[in-house]
Amino acid sequence: MTVKEFLHGLPRRVVPEALEGKDSLFHFLISGDEGGEFTVRIRDGEVRVSDGLEGTPKCTVRAKDKHFMKVVNGEMNATMAVMTGKVKISNLSEMMEYAKLLGF
């Protein structure tokens, strides 16, 4: 699975009821051959993912594609990835609120 496949698959994996009343915007800036720039919008129980950066994010995530996918696949501890700078998160509290709901 690639970063793009993972992020674009979020709408199918998230339970809409868990996101009711939530509103956030994330930018993912992932470097590497399988990276890219993506926007994840959460609003009214719906997740929308698009290529490119749209709007003003509440949280920006930066990582190399290999590190991002290791976290997603459970091969790298997310906390350690952040502490060692392999994954950079601009608003940790925003990410923590949504991480489990989004499958991180």
Give the chain's domains with CATH numbers: 3-102 (3.30.1050.10)
Total-model pTM: 0.93
Instruction: Give the pLDDT of residue 102.
Output: 78
pLDDT given at position 28 = 97
DSSP assigned state of 90: S
SS3 52: coil
* Contact criterion met (CB below 8 Å) for 69 and 1: yes
Note the pLDDT of residue 100.
81
Q: What is the pLDDT of residues 42-100, one digit of tens each?
A: 998 899 999 999 999 999 999 999 999 999 999 999 999 999 999 999 999 999 988 88
pLDDT in tens, 2-50: 999 999 999 998 888 888 899 999 999 999 999 999 999 999 889 999 9
